[in-house]
Amino acid sequence: MHTPALAVIRTPLVAVYGTLKRGLRNHHWLEGADFLGEDCLTSATLYDLGPYPAAKPEPSRGIDVEVFRVDARLLTGLDRLEDYRVRKPKDGDYDRLITTTTFGPAWLYLYNRQVAGYPVIREGSWLPR
């Protein structure tokens, strides 16, 4: 699933699966990003936490993601939104790791907290309530 981070340093891609998708409440964080297209990842499983989903690095039948090209400023904003901590990634709510998409290597935010008891989404998309 994961490749070295150097692969996306110059033009990082981000694969999003929840409230950052087009038409959803946090998509404005991607204003100025280039939408590359949709993809289906079998390397992650989603959990429905209610107001947002969480991805875990577990095999699935394919979760739907949207892939965007972002600059360093947008990526920094996404890190803040997702509580990704560069120096101690396991201390924040999400860690940011590289996954393979049809558009190339992309960052994927993976949830650091426990998901036991939450509904599992092994195929398709998370839908807001």
Active site residue 82: yes
Place of tokens 């558009």: 103
- Please name every residue paired with 97 in a beta bridge, in sequence order, or none if there are none: 108
The CA-atom distances, in angstroms, between 81 and each of 4, 64, 92, 98, 116 are 23, 21, 11, 18, 23
Catalytic residue, from 58, 66, 82, 123: name it. 82
Q: What's 119's DSSP letter?
A: P
As annotated, the active-site residues are 82
